[in-house]
Amino acid sequence: MMRSTRRRFIAIAAAAGGLPLLPFAAGWGAPSKNPLLRFWSGAALGADASMQIHHPDPAVADRLIAASLAEVGRLEKQLSLYRPDSAISRLNRDGVLDDPPFDLLRALAESLRYGEITGGAFDVTVQPLWNLYAAHFSQPNPSPNGPSQRELAAAVARIGQDALDVTESRISLTRPAMSVTLNGIGEGYVTDRVVELLRAGGVEHAMVNMGEIYALGARPAGGSWSVGLEDPRAPTKITEEVALQDRALATSAGYGTTFDPAGRFNHLFDPRSGHTSWRWLSVSVEAATATEADALSTAFSLMPEEATAPIVRKLGLTAHFIRPDGSRLTQRA
């Protein structure tokens, strides 16, 4: 299974001397210049992740990091498609899941809500399209034009959140060969749960990246955290800096995960047509939660600006769009 690389689109300026926070070597420790800052980096949901927290007691900070990692592990057992034994993997395999765990229910309920908000652009049931494109380009000498229209139509027939039945006691996929994915919202959801844990533990200053970013409080020295958005045409360069404080940021871009060597087909699936989207080079969303930023950056990648603007205003967002010609558009509430 291909791994999403969305976290590469964002660079974080750390509180300690403005040094880049990413990437780290795996593990945790305190930078020598500031013993109150604790760092961790590793993997979550099959991809790179990191935390930077500020706490007056390094031992307490390390316990909170350990608790956060345990929470990530617990959530992966429910939400990760990278684990064949996860609750979501069992749901996809069997088409039904009795006594579903709370966080899977909550994440799916959030997914359905953002599907409604975006008029169906966000759809948690698009996993058949991922399976189709991955299978097509994994076979010997695949057509460079991608799956056939017949294959796309068959996959689209398996999609639709109206066919996802979610109750507290049971989750059912009511169409044959349906499957769901939380790849468009799960990283944000996990990020939010870690932030909740740190906040409950007394942390007032932290930068959490479990695939999506949340800035908890201000930088320890004062002022907002600085986050740089990657230039899609020159991925090693920063095209814009964003100030975050008690806000989340997520970016979606087609070039982050492509299926074919030519890069024509990406992971941003239109649930209606089955095609992949290059409407925008990248979309970044600032929101109150990482869950919201994650889901809406995914959905906005498929939507025209006249459709995203009302959502931005209603939900109090800021959205940054980069067009195919490299020009930029920012929408604010």
pLDDT (tens digit, 9 = 90+) per residue, 98-142?
Answer: 999 999 999 999 999 999 999 999 999 999 999 999 999 999 999
Task: Tell me how far apart the alpha carbons of residues 302 and 318 are, in angstroms, rounded to a whole number.
Answer: 17
Burial 66-101 (b: 16+ CB within 10 A, else e): eebbebbeebbbbbbbebeebbbbbbbeebebeebb
On the 0-12 / 13-18 / 19+ scale of CB atoms within 10 A, 165 is exposed
User: Which residue positions in the chain have pLDDT lower than 70?
Assistant: 1-35
The pLDDT assigned to 46 comes to 72
Residue 135 has which token pair? 């299978």
> What pTM value is reported for the model?
0.91
- What mean pLDDT is reported for the chain? 89
**Length, in residues, of the chain:** 333
